[in-house]
Structure 1
Amino acid sequence: MSQAILSGILWHLVGAASAACFYAPFKKVRHWSWETMWSVGGIASWIVLPWAVSAVLLPNFWGYYSSFSLSQLLPVFLFGAMWGVGNINYGLTMRYLGMSMGIGIAIGITLVVGTLMTPLIQGRFVELFSSSGGRLTLLGVLVALVGVAIVSRAGLLKERAMGITAEEFNLKKGLLLAVLCGVFSAGMSFAMNAAKPMHDAAAALGIDPLYTALPSYVVIMGGGALVNLGFCFIRLATKSDLSVRSDFSVAKSLLISNVLLSILGGTMWYLQFFFYAWGHARIPAQYDFISWMLHMSFYVLCGGLVGLVLKEWKNVGRRPVSVLCGGCVVIILAANIVGMGMMS
């Protein structure tokens, strides 16, 4: 496996690890509504950091964005908003199906849709079957999907062993939301593809290939921010049991702690796509759609490993842990198959 492809796969692993850990700081936030916590973290991750990073990278910030027409920027923004809808549905899916079933269905769908829809739309999908590299790559996607299913099965066994159930289990509603989450979450993959002219323009300015995708995040995450923050602000304004005033009236020390923890969580969320851009830059152009498969499968892999490190699987028995480890091995195998396919 070439050094460039290997480094691309490894950077996707680093980004996925950040994604798997980003919610840990949020769990330590106390006496705040989820909406306030998510908004503070989201402002940092979807607005402040993308703008700040782009301001550092671009020699002429406003000149860069004004060089694109509305017809070029609008699809990027709308796909970002599409991802935002999927992000909101993700939380609701967990509520109605539980973590394991919800993750298995939602991540499985977004992995397939986000990975394969791009070459399908571009008319390149059939071409993948005509070469050994393309066939290996598609086999890797299938193996990754199997790995996600196995890890999700392990999670289900863990929940049963610990007596954990969904907050408001509703199979029909949960399955509908999981499908919507899976499809809409793939918007991030579509946005990256639609933003290629922005990446090319950044490269023409002399920006390092590792960073050329980052300026497009201002537009992509702007779409996601509109949906997520709009959802949170509407709930805070209309729900009688939610109040920004009460959230910010806590003791000063707790207020500072909550703000810093939320910003830390938001920063870790942003870093997943910071390193996603690094990994994406190392993947051969004809296989760039594979970036999404690597990110999502590694996200499931790292989520399982983080759970083991934090002893979340303690006292659940040997079988759930064995199944989890088996699923992790399958996902690692999938990454190797994809790597070999890109080398063929």
Structure 2
Amino acid sequence: MGSSILLGIFWHFIGATSAACFYAPMKKVTNWSWETMWAVAGIFSWILLPWSISYWLLPDFWAYYGSFSSSILLPVFLFGAMWGIGNVGYGLTMRYLGMSMGIGVAIGITLIIGTLMTPILQGRFGELLASSGGQMTLIGVVVAVIGVAIVSYAGLLKEKVLGVTTEEFNLKKGLALAIMCGIFSAGMSFAMSAATPMHEAAASLGVDPLYVALPSYVVIMGGGAIINLSFCIIRLKTRPELSFKADMSVVKSLLFSNILFSAIGGIMWYLQFFFYAWGHANVPAEYGFMSWMLHMSFYVLCGGIVGLVLKEWNNTGTKPTRVLVIGCLIIVLAANIVGLGMAN
């Protein structure tokens, strides 16, 4: 396996680790509605960081974006908005299915769709089936989905042991939302593929290959920001129990700490895609679609590892933990299979 491919897998793992940990600082936010916390974190992750980093990278920020026609920018933006809808639906999926089943269904679907739809739409799926390297990467996708399913099953066992129940459990509604969430969350993968001309333009301007995808995040995350912020604003305006003004009226020390922890969470959220860009840059171009599979499967893997480190699996018995470890090992195996396929 080439050093570049190993580096790509490593950076995808680092990005997924950031994704798995981003909510930890946000748990320290108190006396704020979820909508206010999510909006403040989003301002950092979807707007401030993408814009400031792109402004720093590009020799002429406005000229760069002005050089693209609407036929290039609009699909990138709309796929970003599609991904934003998936983000909103993710929370509702957890409400109706619970964490384990919701994560398993939603991430399993987005992993498959986000990974395979790109080569299918590009008319390259047949080529993958015909080559040994392509066959191996596709086997890796299947193994990754199996690993995600096993980790989700471990979570289900954990919830049963701890007596965790989903008050609003609704299998029919939850599965429908999970499928919708899985499909729409794959918008990020589609957006990255649609933004290839933007990556190439950034490279032609002398931007380091590790960073060429970052300027496209201004457009991609702009689409996601509009959906997420609109959702939060509508909720804050229409729900009588919510009030942005009341959230901002807490004592100054608490206001400062809430903004700080929300900002840290938002920064960590952005960093998952910062390192996603690094990983993507080290994946062979013909296998660029595999970046999404690596990111999403590592997200589940890192979530399991973080749970073990934080002792969330203590007092659950040996079976849930054993199943979790098996699932995590299978995800690691999937990453190795994909890496060997890309190197073939």
Q: How far apart are residue 174 of structure 1 and its match? A: 0.4
Any stretches of 5+ residues in structure 1 without a counterpart?
none
Match of 2:224 in 1: 224
Match of 1:205 in 2: 205
Q: Say whether residues 1:61 and 2:53 are aligned partners.
A: no
The residue correspondences of 1:113-128 to structure 2 (distance < 5 A) are 113-128=113-128
Q: How far apart are residue 167 of structure 1 and its match? A: 3.5
Q: Say whether residues 1:333 and 2:325 are aligned partners.
A: no
Q: Match of 1:32, as an amino acid?
A: W
Q: Match of 2:343, as an amino acid?
A: M
Residues 17-48 of structure 1 deviation map (CA, whole Å, 9 limit, x = unaligned): 00000010111100000000000000000000
The residue correspondences of 1:266-285 to structure 2 (distance < 5 A) are 266-285=266-285
RMSD of equivalent CA atoms: 0.4
Residue 249 of structure 2: SS of its match in structure 1?
coil
Identity, % of aligned positions: 72
Residues 307-329 of structure 1 deviation map (CA, whole Å, 9 limit, x = unaligned): 00000001000000000000000
Residues 64-83 of structure 1 deviation map (CA, whole Å, 9 limit, x = unaligned): 00000111100000000000
Residue 130 of structure 2: SS of its match in structure 1?
coil
Superposition TM-score, scaled by structure 1 size: 1.00
The residue correspondences of 1:77-226 to structure 2 (distance < 5 A) are 77-226=77-226
Q: For the residues of structure 1 that align with 2:102 and 2:126, how far apart are their CA atoms?
A: 31
Residue 129 of structure 1: SS of its match in structure 2?
helix
Q: How far apart are residue 128 of structure 1 and its match? A: 0.6
Match of 2:52 in 1: 52
Q: For the residues of structure 2 that align with 1:240 and 1:69, how far apart are their CA atoms?
A: 43
Q: For the residues of structure 2 that align with 1:330 and 1:254, how far apart are their CA atoms?
A: 43
Q: Say whether residues 1:36 and 2:36 are aligned partners.
A: yes
Match of 1:305 in 2: 305
Q: For the residues of structure 1 that align with 2:79 and 2:126, how far apart are their CA atoms?
A: 25
Q: For the residues of structure 2 that align with 1:252 and 1:316, how far apart are their CA atoms?
A: 40
Match of 1:258 in 2: 258
Q: For the residues of structure 2 that align with 1:283 and 1:243, how far apart are their CA atoms?
A: 46
Aligned residue-pair number = 344
Q: For the residues of structure 1 that align with 2:70 and 2:227, how far apart are their CA atoms?
A: 20
Match of 1:288 in 2: 288
Q: Match of 1:154, as an amino acid?
A: A
Any stretches of 5+ residues in structure 2 without a counterpart?
none
Q: For the residues of structure 2 that align with 1:289 and 1:143, how far apart are their CA atoms?
A: 16
Moved over 6 A (4+): none
Q: For the residues of structure 2 that align with 1:221 and 1:167, how far apart are their CA atoms?
A: 33
